[in-house]
A and B are shown apart, each in its own frame.
Chain A
Amino acid sequence: MLLMLALTGCAVQAPQLLGRPPPDLPRQVELVQTPFFPQLELQCGPAALATALSANGPEIRPRALVDEVFLPGREGSLQLEMLAGARRHGMVATLLPGSLEAVMRETAAGHPVIVLQNLGLSWAPTWHYAVVVGYDLDAATFVLRSGTTERLELALRTFEHTWDRSQRWAFVALPPGRLPVTATEDEATRALIAFERNAPPDAAARAYAAALARWPDSLVLAMGLGNARHATGDKAGAEQAFRDAAARHESAAAWNNHASVLLELGRREEARRAAQHAVELGGPLRETALATLRSIDR
């Protein structure tokens, strides 16, 4: 029994999903338009990434990605670098919850999913990136672009076993402003902060605006929107974003940034009041808020 558990890893989801599928989940989906790039030796990373990026944006070929994700000394591509690689091409890379249903829902929404599988054994792994482009609940299969196979049909159970061993790692790469249907707030926030680092500020602003619309109570997303708008030169937009954030959250950061942009807009009195409010709130940002107040009073 223990051996069985050891072999199967986490709870097997396939039987439940097939036995009682969510009523709003389509029974068959296949994103036939998804391009196919057969992988070269050891380079399933670039191939999978090229597939996902080209599906929802301008075409990129694997060769262009080799220098961004392939690590010769490891003979493969690391997960973190796959995410960064997507960002460098203007897409937001968001990790999915580790469930078969999440993968299916994303696919049903038109989002191919990059997955990391261990095609071998846990003690003798064969790590492999592939792209899920469809599924069939009746046939109990997933359809993947995998390696040199354009259309690999894999039994749900087999997919689950190979995917389990990578801790169910999967992500979608989407243009800024489009959100995965299954992303959690925490993960979407993490993904956008990382995106902000790589992307032109107007793209980051678009991405933050969409996320904030879905999660309006998030301080971090509101601050991200303000910062991104400020970086594009849209000071009025930044001021509004920080004003809304400060009103919604008693946050020294929001008040500080609000004060800073008000000063840039020449609204000195309002800036002073906002900065004072930030200082009063104290906390780890007190020094920053004091610096802002000082520069207003200069």
Chain B
Amino acid sequence: MKQLQRLFAMLLVICFSNATMIQAAQAALVTTEQIAGMAAASPEDSPHARLGALMTRADVQAQLERFGLSPDVAKERIAALTDDEALMLAQQIENAPAGGSDVLGVLLFVFIVLLVTDILGLTKIFPFTRSVR
């Protein structure tokens, strides 16, 4: 339901922004992002492209929230991304590498696990442990 509301809100935003564009044709600056997009020979300022970008961002927002971020934090993090990056993130968020581990931490964890299982008599890795049994 929330998704539908969000979608509807976005459509309203697009309709209004289109309306203002038609009514007040002003001297507009072409943005750097637009020129770079054109240099890469991809469609830039069509309403379709803008809608696509907005929907991608909504999609990323939902995904970031699903992966444990609060809506406010997710919103800030998406705002920092370019349209291209938002698209890439949407595609990669589930499978791209997520750097986290410290290998020493992993080794330490394994060491502790084995120590505990040694003490419980489930394993016998270390010579210095005596099982509780």
Contact = CB atoms under 8 A, between A and B. Distances in A.
B104 A127 contact: no
Contacts of B89: 78, 80-81
B32 A223 contact: yes
B81 A84 contact: yes
B100 A75 contact: yes
Interface in B61-82: 64, 66-69, 73, 76-77, 80-82
> Main secondary structure on chain A at its contact with chain B?
helix
B9 interface: no
Interface stretch (B10-18, B20-28, B110-118, B123-131): B20-28
A284 interface: yes
Interface in A115-169: 116, 118-119, 125-129, 146-149, 166
B28 A291 contact: yes
Given A72-B67, A72-B68, A87-B80, A147 B35 contact: no
Interface residues of B, number: 44
A196 B100 contact: no
Contacts of A228: 32
Contacts of B27: 259-260, 263-264, 271, 275, 291-292, 295-296
A253 B30 contact: yes
Contact of A41 (B30, B64, B81, B105): B105
A111 interface: no
Contacts of A284: 38, 43-45
A14 interface: no
A44 interface: yes
B93 A78 contact: yes
A210 interface: no
Interface in B22-52: 25-36, 38-39, 43-45
A291 B39 CA distance: 22
Contacts of A129: 99
Contacts of A78: 89, 92-93, 96-98
A128 B100 contact: yes
Nearest to A262: B27
Q: Which of B29, B89, B104 has the most CB atoms of chain A within a 10 A radius of its CB?
A: B29
Contact of A288 (B28, B80, B97): B28
Contacts of A194: 81-82, 85
B77 A81 contact: yes
B103 interface: yes
A224 B98 CA distance: 32
Interface residues of A, number: 72
Nearest to B108: A148
Contact of A76 (B36, B44, B82, B99): B99
Interface in A23-48: 39, 41-45, 48
Contacts of A193: 32-33, 36, 82
A227 interface: yes
Contacts of B5: none
A77 B99 contact: yes
A276 interface: no
The 6 closest A-B pairs by CB, nearest first: A73-B67, A76-B100, A76-B98, A72-B68, A147-B102, A74-B98
Interface of B: 25-36, 38-39, 43-45, 64, 66-69, 73, 76-77, 80-82, 85, 88-89, 92-93, 96-106
Interface of A: 39, 41-45, 48, 67-68, 71-85, 87-88, 116, 118-119, 125-129, 146-149, 166, 189-190, 193-194, 196-198, 219-220, 223-224, 227-228, 230, 251, 253, 256-257, 259-261, 263-264, 271, 275, 284-285, 288, 291-292, 294-296
